[in-house]
Amino acid sequence: MNNKANKVNMDTIAKKAGVSKTTVSRIINGNFEYVNEATKEKVLRIIKELNYKPNSLARSLKQMKSNVIGLILANMKTTFWSLVIEGVEKRCHANGYSLMICNSNNDPQLEREHIENLKMKQVDGIIINPMIENKPLFQELIDEKYPLVLINRRIDGMALDTVIIDNVRSSMLAVNHLRDLGRKSIALIAYTSQGISPREDRIEGYRRAMESNGVAVDEMMIREVEEKPGTAKEAVKQLLMAPDRPDAILSSHVSMISEVIEAANELGLSIPNDVSHVGFDESVWSQHLASPLTTISQPSFEMGELAAEHMIDFIKHKEAFVPTTTLLQPELIVRSSCGNNLLNRA
């Protein structure tokens, strides 16, 4: 029985279905443009009945395709990125692609090496959370019409397909909510921008929201710190020990959240009684903190899915593909850390 199954090929399928070998080939490769629905269903049914397994390696060599997509991320430590990977993988798997994942760790040289290695491995395209330092390399890829999709970060002035979250609006949602609760002095803790667009946009969103509320931006309330353990905590302690301390803090990265809480605790201050707190990125533990955290939830899984969809479209229609920028919307999830429960009591 196994020997018979091994002899099944496209000719066998074509004869049994009463169609040409070309039609069978089109259906196997997902090209349904010239195939009617009835024929497609018939051929797929026969393939299943005969347990036909196409030789994916031979098919890839013939088409000069690997059916592998590269994914280069700058950080894989958070729930945010775990969900992005899940979204990319789900869409890739549904379309017959495998995924090769690399971590640049925000190192431009390592990112370049990953790009070169993935190209040597002949992946069909690369989805990347990019470093601005590699703009010249990205321009080379654009000139080659190499399938490249940016995720999470944009690079201005380049014709690159981009799937990102509206980080300006994210900060505005948080600041506007805190202002609605009566908070007058709102501090922002952010990592140094270094040309990384989400960081720049979150600071810009903070500025816009304060100005739209008729509040002059106090530069001392914007604290940019190095992305190292303890830097956010120290910045928060300095702010909270000042005579004119803020009555609310917006932490612009998920890794800062615990440091904001530690700083307040060490100074004997209560969240939200003494200082309100809003953080970026919804996590499974956000609602389980002593003061459940108000967060800016980002559609990370959807971003991963869309980036993969764009990549697959790019691969299939390389010459006709037109890069676009897709802007996904965040959501404010309100819990008690912002002080909304205090307002309700009043």
Q: What is the pLDDT of residues 146-203, one digit of tens each?
A: 999 999 999 999 999 999 999 999 999 999 999 999 999 999 999 999 999 999 999 9
Residue 4 has pLDDT above 50, yes or no: no
Q: What is the pLDDT of residues 251-306, one digit of tens each?
A: 999 999 999 999 999 999 999 999 999 999 888 888 888 899 999 999 999 999 99
Residue 1 has pLDDT above 60, yes or no: no
**pLDDT at residue 192, as a whole number:** 95
Q: What angle do CA 113, 58, 35 make, to 5 degrees?
A: 110
Domains annotated for the chain, with CATH where assigned, are 2-54 (1.10.260.40), 65-164+300-328 (3.40.50.2300), 167-298+332-345 (3.40.50.2300)
Total length of the chain: 346
Q: What is the pLDDT of residues 200-221, one digit of tens each?
A: 999 999 999 999 999 999 999 9
Distances (CA, A) of 60 to 25, 306, 312, 324: 13, 24, 15, 28
**Predicted structure pTM score:** 0.80
**pLDDT at residue 128, as a whole number:** 98
Most distant CA pair in the chain: distance in Å? Answer: 85
Q: What is the pLDDT of residues 295-342, one digit of tens each?
A: 999 999 999 999 999 999 999 998 889 999 999 999 999 999 998 876
φ/ψ of 277, rounded to 5, equals: -145, 130
**pLDDT at residue 5, as a whole number:** 45
**pLDDT at residue 304, as a whole number:** 98
